[in-house]
A and B are shown apart, each in its own frame.
Chain A
Amino acid sequence: MSTPSLRIRGLRKAFPRVLAVDGVDLEVARGEVFGLLGPNGAGKTTTLEIIEGLTAADSGTIEILGLTWEIHGQEIRSRIGVQLQSTSLFNKITPREALDLYGSYYPKRRSTAELLALVQLEEKADAYHITLSGGQQQRLALALALVNDPELVFLDEPTTGLDPQARRSLWDVVRRMKGEGRTVVLTTHYMDEAEALCDRLAIMDRGQVIATGTPASLISDLAMPSVVELTFEGMAPDSSAFAARLGQAVEPRADLWEIRTPDPKALLPRLLEAAEVGDVPFQQVHIRRATLEDVFLQRTGRSLRE
């Protein structure tokens, strides 16, 4: 089909004290896993909640599966699946009951047994929601998002608060969704997650999309896609004298210096020479490809984690 799963133009939403979404355009193709990456407060969740019909936008247009909220509200709700950032269910409902109940709201539905198996909650199927661990609650929320066999699934920070193993198994579920031909739109502030899961990404900051593309293209489009790191034992020393000698910017981190470059091969001999002359007590040298973290850093001048 040619219509995209999602097309957004000029989305804008101001809250009394903050402009949460400031002119966002997005387009997500069918069958794609699309990520909104950005730090907390970048406007990812607000954007998602506007798309899901939970929050009204001040302006902008949204087309979901070729439909609009104004005209096709019920049909959109029937065809999308949503995992909210935090899904608060009634304390004493069990996963089996919740899946049965929510399934009953839809014309088309997947069996509760199948969903419980998919998110590995069979053993907890009859336990009260309040007794489930954070990871189990998150998995139930994911199963609820799939209860209507949706074409388009929205996942808001699906792995926040999960342990590494739980994250991996959630990634597997997302990959299976893609394998089943669903379109997935997720938000995350983990760059490794964005890189591992997403076909394409929009990097958001302060309510705006500052870059869009595949993870690989976002990185290779950087002016300086490689990073050389000098690591130290303990705290990294002051880098200004070294930077002057090298004739290039050096960014000090806690226990290392980062030097960005388009051409590490040319940089390395100069760098080692400067270190020799300045008697820099570094321990190791690493050359690595820039990450999405670096993309964010280079475009905003700030770290993703700030």
Chain B
Amino acid sequence: MMLWRQFVMEWRLYSRDRVAMFWTMAFPVLLLLGFGTMFRDGGGPRLSLVRVLPQSPSPSDAALGKALVDLQLNVQTLSKAEAESRWSRGETAAQLEPAGAGYRLRLNSYLMAQAGATAGLVNQAYLMAQARLSGAPEPQRIPIQMESPGHKRSASYVTFLLPGLLGLNLVSMGLFSVGMVNVSYREKGKFRRLAVTPLPKWIFLLGQVLHRLTVTVVQAGILLLVGRLAFGIQNQGSFLDLLLIMTLGTGCFMAFGFALSGFAETSEGYAALSNLVFFPLMMLSGVYFTLDAAPAWLQHTVALLPLAPFIRALRAVFNDGASLAGHGLGLAIVGAWALAAFLLAVRRFRWA
């Protein structure tokens, strides 16, 4: 009863801050629209190559040009001067230029991911062009297939992006906004008056977690709706499973925020502290790059962090229509973190 009142009051006060509420709801939608527009067609960002042609292009230059296009590279042909200035601005990932009788490929060391992939394609195109010129049989290519871990193939990159956005949004809300709001309210003495009432801390905190939980569910609902209307992205799994994962994840990362706020004296201190937690969590989650090369002890430790199993389960259900059965362990890890973080939050919480 006390919890319900607390929850209702949180929502009431929250809904009165229209601007904050609007942006909380709109932010993930804007991200989705932004990425969705950028990568509207094709599987992810397309690779592009800057090409500098010699003064008088030879037939072999032309053949290479055709092969590059055949391999779906986005080729931009520029003059030497234009290409140099673009390179200096750091906008070029890979640049193909004449050198002596042949070519040289320059790769931007800051953009290695795109540059490396482009280099592979350029070399392939070179072999193709040479074969065509000499009349040899065209080299065979091994077919490539983009596929999710759940064996789904989608034409649209945004489809895979959406659950990632859902997850990222939730983590940043938990670690940044919720914890920060908590610290700044404490700094302003907004909780002092509550300290002299018999209201138990855990009810106060749980009320806030539940409030945030429902906020994220609404937020996710809006995001899914926009994804569906604007990009035709559909949830492949069951909505109930999705709700369950979101609930566990929200509980976990909101509790994280509250727990962290118990360790910071000031909002400035909190900003530093939350980054300290956020970045390792992000980098080590295995969501953005694999940790195959990392030492074994690190891999074992990382396997126990909550972000990776959460995102994995979210993507599996949303993109691959998987059931939750295969994610029991992962969700148990997320749930355990949620509980531990909440208990820590209650223990560390101070009214003033």
Contact = CB atoms under 8 A, between A and B. Distances in A.
A106 B197 CA distance: 8
B208 to A, nearest CB: 12
Interface string A81-111: 0101011111011000100011011100000
A97 B9 contact: yes
Contacts of B9: 93, 97, 101
Contact of A105 (B190, B198, B352): B198
B184 to A, nearest CB: 12
A18 interface: no
Interface stretch (A72-80, A163-171, A196-204, A298-306): A72-80
A65 B9 CA distance: 32
B300 interface: no
A105 B188 contact: no
B197 A87 contact: no
Contact of B193 (A77, A80, A89): A89
B195 interface: yes
A82 B16 contact: no
Interface residues of A, number: 25
B190 A80 contact: no
Interface string B195-208: 11111000000000
A144 interface: yes
A54 interface: yes
A92 B193 contact: no
Contacts of A88: 188-190, 192-193
Contacts of A78: 198
A52 interface: yes
A76 to B, nearest CB: 9
B17 A92 contact: yes
Given A74-B198, A97-B9, A102-B197, A89 B192 contact: no
B196 A89 contact: no
Contacts of A66: none
B198 A106 contact: yes
Contacts of B352: 54
B89 interface: no
A278 interface: no
Q: Interface size bucket, B side?
A: 20 to 34
A53 interface: yes
B151 interface: no
**Secondary structure of the A side of the interface?**
loop
Contacts of B17: 92
Interface in A141-200: 141, 144
B193 A84 contact: yes
Interface in B309-337: none
B198 A97 contact: no
Most B CB atoms within 10 A — which of A80, A102, A104, A106?
A: A104
A88 B1 CA distance: 25
B169 to A, nearest CB: 25
A87 B194 CA distance: 10
Contacts of A90: 13, 190
Contacts of A54: 192, 195-196, 351-352
A53 B6 CA distance: 23
Contacts of A87: 192-193
Given A77-B198, A78-B198, A104-B2, A93 B193 contact: no
A53 B196 contact: yes
Interface in B1-41: 1-2, 5-6, 9, 12-13, 16-17
A80 to B, nearest CB: 7
Contacts of B6: 101
A86 B189 contact: yes
Most A CB atoms within 10 A — which of B1, B189, B197?
A: B197
B189 A105 contact: no
A105 B193 contact: no
Contacts of A84: 192-193, 196
A185 B46 CA distance: 74
A92 B199 contact: no
Contact of B5 (A89, A92, A93, A101): A101
A80 B5 contact: no
Given A86-B189, A104-B5, A105-B2, A92 B13 contact: yes
B21 to A, nearest CB: 12
B191 to A, nearest CB: 9
B197 A77 contact: yes
Contacts of B351: 54
B196 A77 contact: yes
B196 A52 contact: yes
A105 B1 CA distance: 10
A248 B196 CA distance: 52
A89 B190 contact: yes
A144 B196 CA distance: 11
Contacts of A82: 193, 196
A187 B125 CA distance: 86
A273 B332 CA distance: 96
Interface of B: 1-2, 5-6, 9, 12-13, 16-17, 188-190, 192-193, 195-199, 351-352
Q: Which 5 A-B pairs give the minimum distances between C-beta atoms?
A: A82-B196, A77-B198, A92-B16, A105-B197, A105-B199
16 contacts: A53-B195, A54-B195, A54-B351, A77-B196, A77-B198, A80-B196, A84-B193, A86-B189, A88-B189, A88-B193, A93-B9, A97-B9, A104-B2, A104-B5, A105-B199, A106-B198
